[in-house]
Every structure is written in C-alpha cells, then in structure tokens.
Amino acid sequence: MIRHGVRLVRIVLTLGQFRLDELLLDAGPLRLAGLARLIPGRGRRVADQSVGMRLKSALETLGPIYVKFGQILSTRRDLLPHDVAEALSLLQDDVAPFDSQQARAIVEQELKRPVDEAFAEFDAKPMASASIAQVHGARLKDGQNVVVKIVRPGIEAQIKSDLALLYQLARLVRRYHPEGERIRPDEVVGEFERVIVNELDMQSEAANCTMIRRNFENSKELYIPKIHWPLTANRVLVMERVYGLPVRDIDGLKAHGVDLEKLARLGIRLFYRQVFRDNLFHADMHPGNILVDATDPNNPSFIALDFGIVASLTQKDLYYIGENFLAIFNREYRRVAELHVEAGWVPADTRVDELEAAARTVCEPNFTRPLEEVSFAELVVELFTVAQKFKLTIQPQLIMLQKTLLNIEGMGRSLYPQLNIWDVAKPELEAAYRERYGFKRTADAIKRQAPGWLARTPDLPNMVFDAVRLAASGQFRTQIETQDLNALARHVNAHNHKVPLSILAAGLIIGAAILIGYETPPLASDYSVPGLMTLVLGLGVGWRALRKR
C-alpha cells in the first residue's frame, strides 16, 4: 500500500514537473502536482512546449506502461483536443531489451523443453523490444526461419500494480475534476486494461492471426504469416518470419518502382474488407506493423504483423456503422441522425432534426473542398464529437474502429498524398454490403438455422400447453393498463384473423429458404425455381395478412 502511495505521488509530481497540473484544475488532492513547480529549475525546459508534447514527455518519463496508455488514450479523439491526440500518437513503444538468458528461460518454461531441442538456432540478440514483449529470430529444425515473441518477465505484476494506480488516479479525477463525469476517466482506464491484458496472451494473439490468415488465405493482396502452434504458449509465440519493405520507407518503395497510388488504394480497400466483409480487423495498423512485398512493383501487396489488438463489432453496430458511412458518403444527413437514434447511440427522445442539422454542419463544409483533401476518418471523429452534445455513448469497439481508420488513411495519404479516400471507400463498402446482406448470404444463414428451428418445433405444443395450464391455475398473470379495453379487444380480434395467414406466410418463406439453400432443381441462375416460386407465394400471403383488417 505504501509502495502504491509513493508511486501515485510520483505520477502526480511528474505531471507537475511538466506543467500539466493545469489540466487537473481544482481536482482536490491532485492539486499537489503544483508543488513540483516549487522545485528550482523544474518545468523551465518544457515551458514553451504544447500541452500535448508535455503530456507525451511526462508519459515517457513514467515508463513503458504509461507510454502504452498514452497510445491508447490517443485514440479517444472524442475526449482529447486534436493537438493532444496528435502528440500522443507519436509515442513510440520501444524500450531496452531484457537479458537473452531470461528470454531462453521463459521459452523453456513455456514449451517444457530446452531451446536447443525446439530450435536449430536461436538468436541471442533481439530484433525488437517493446513494453509487453520482445522478438528474437530463430530457425526451426526443418530449416524454416521464424520469429519468437516472448512476454517480458514480471510484466504481469507491473501491469497489475500500474492499473491499480491508474484506476485510483481516475477515480480522483472523476470525483474532483469539473468535467469528470463527461470524461469518465475510469472507463478510459478500463479500455486500456482490456487492450493490454489481451496483448499479454500470446495464444490469443496467435488465434487472431490465424483467423485473419484464413480470411485472406488465397489473397494476392494481403499476406498473413503462419503460426507454429506446437511452439506457441501463453507467453511465447512462434511465427513465420516474413520479409518486405517497411511501408514508411517511401524512398525505398520508390527505388523499387512500386506503384504508390495503387498501394495506397489497396490499403483502404483491405481495411473495408476486414471490417465489413469479415467483421474482424487488425486494430493496430500503424506503419511499424506493415510491410510491403515489392516483388512485383506494378502489383505490390501488404504483409501484416503483430496481431495483439484485433477487434470486431456486434452485428448491430456493424450494420449501423456501415449505414452511417454510406449516409455520409451520399450526404444524407437526415439518415445519419435517424441511424444514431435507431442504433441507441443517442437517447430515444433526441430531436432528429437537431441532430440532422449538427451532422450537416460538420459534414457539408468538407464537400466544398476537393475530395482528395478530405479525411473521411477525421470527419467521422468530428461527427461523433459533435454528437456528444446529444449524450452520445460510444462502445470501445467503435473507438478501435476510429483509431484504425485514422491509421489506414494516414498511411494511404503518406504513400500517395492525392489519394481520394471517398473514391476508394464507397464502392468497397457498397460491395461488402451486397455480399454481407445480400440474398445468398441470408439464404445460407437460414439454411444453417433451419435444422435448429425444426428440432425445436416438436416442443411448441408442450410450451403452449404449459402456458395454458399456468394461466388456468392462476400462476400465469398479466396486467393490462389501458383506458380503452374495447379498443384493445378490437385490435386482438383483428390480429386473430391475421394469425392463420401469418403462420402460412412464415411457413412458405422458411420452406422457400430451405429449397433455395439446398439448390433444389430445376435451377435458374443458380437459384432453385421451386424455392423462388414458394418465396413469392409466401410474400404474397404475408402482404395479405398485413393488409387484413
């Protein structure tokens, strides 16, 4: 406890050292950060720096876990000023390596065999070292070159301790800071905890890598390295070693004659496919995690690395975020506002016309500029920021999506500054939507679920009987609060007339889906003719049931 207190005091004094106590305002006990200004000479060297750069320096002083926290914090552009977010995005997760003997010991402990038995060669000098893990080169017995990612020793205990301190600091900020309830710093720390705990599990990262590799197994545009599962454990990951040019090496790419415009457009397309086609996307796509295969300069491809942060959306969020994107592309601001309400991102009593006006105010000025100068990612961030006035609540998955979108657009524009994001993204999103929500995907889904429906059908009579029995015994009770029971009776009577037709329509539609899903002949354009006829009949009966009074 004393150690935690000392550490907390150090954090607060470091904020004061870099003149960041102004951010805390009158935050109760945290005002002691101002005491650091009394120390002679402190704060002078940073007096002329921006708040963002001072915060960046403070986090670097506190250590690698806080650098990681700053990187995650930089994604919360709905909470941070633009200049602060930009400064934090410059944080580099690069720390001194730990001893190679410790690395070997961890490998042997996790794999339960000597390093020399698992590998033909194991490089003592690490290739890279970060706050969570470091990477060593190695060669397998069969001659394959691999990389071995090893979790830093003692990092779990350090993270647990630092998280406790961050939560303590967050609670103080939320309690005493005037904007504490809006900022919700404890939830920000919670986002960081979810990310960093997942990064500690090498088996989870290996599974993420394997799933994305499966989605792009036959792709010539994105290569995902192979995981060597027999040599992968909780704290050790062994992956195929891949070679390519760093995507940030623009001069090197030009020297190899790479078509940079084509490469930039490809990066945008791959992002939209991961999100809207597969609903599984690499959420840490900064330049350090991307290589370029320039073997064919006219048809370059990407190689992705480091799958510690991979995200997906709920089906509901995936649908609504895609619809929002399309509405923005088409300048349908009323639709943007309606979607925010339908998705539950803003309260149900939000005035749609006011939210529509806010969306128009944010988006429309961008259409007065050449589209190659417009950042769609920045526009989405601005829209969500304005929606905060309407009590917008954003789930962490959407934050990761925003972050990745910013990274991908930034990479694309660095490769080809004249890149028209809209020209690439809109058709890719429309194509992904046709595939995900098209008739064939829906028929396939019904085909998969039909056996479950049929299996539960015999239970329906028993369920109805149990409901009737409970009602007869007085145990099944309902309470109706209405001022007009006669009107209710009329509605019930009308619905009772619709029930037989509704059941018939549902049966025909399910039957049609099964016939189409199993491609029952004869076929027309790969679709079952009996299935299509049954579907038309079912829709007709359903329409009649809806119109029946």
pLDDT digits (tens, 9 = 90+) for 310-355: 989 888 889 999 999 999 999 999 999 999 999 888 888 999 999 9
Q: Which residue has the higher pLDDT, 31 or 83?
A: 83
Return d(Cα 507, Cα 257) in angstroms, integer. Answer: 60
485 contacts: CB under 8 Å, gap ≥ 6 = none
DSSP state of 227: B
Residue 22 confidence (pLDDT): 60
48 contacts: CB under 8 Å, gap ≥ 6 = none
HEC secondary structure over 228-293: CHHHCCCCEEEEECCCCEECCCHHHHHHCCCCHHHHHHHHHHHHHHHHHHCCCEECCCCHHHEEEE
- The number of helices, as runs of H, and strands, as runs of E, in the chain is 23, 13
Tell me which of 82-86, 381-385, 401-405, 459-463 is least confident: 459-463
pLDDT digits (tens, 9 = 90+) for 54-78: 888 888 888 878 888 888 777 777 6
| Annotated catalytic residue, options 21, 78, 284, 293 | 284
- Rounded to the nearest integer, the mean pLDDT of the chain is 82
Nearest to 1 by CA among 31, 9, 139, 474: 9
Report if pTM > 0.85.
no
Q: Is 522 exposed, middle or buried (0-12, 13-18, 19+ CB in 10 A)?
A: exposed
Question: Is the separation of the CB atoms in 373 and 407 below 8 Å?
Answer: no
Q: Which residue has the higher pLDDT, 218 or 119?
A: 119
Residue 472 confidence (pLDDT): 67
Residue 224 confidence (pLDDT): 97
State yes or no: is 284 an active-site residue: yes
Sorted by where each starts, the structural domains of the chain and their CATH numbers stand as 2-92+156-197 (no CATH), 94-154+198-242 (3.30.200.20), 244-437 (no CATH), 439-476+485-547 (no CATH)
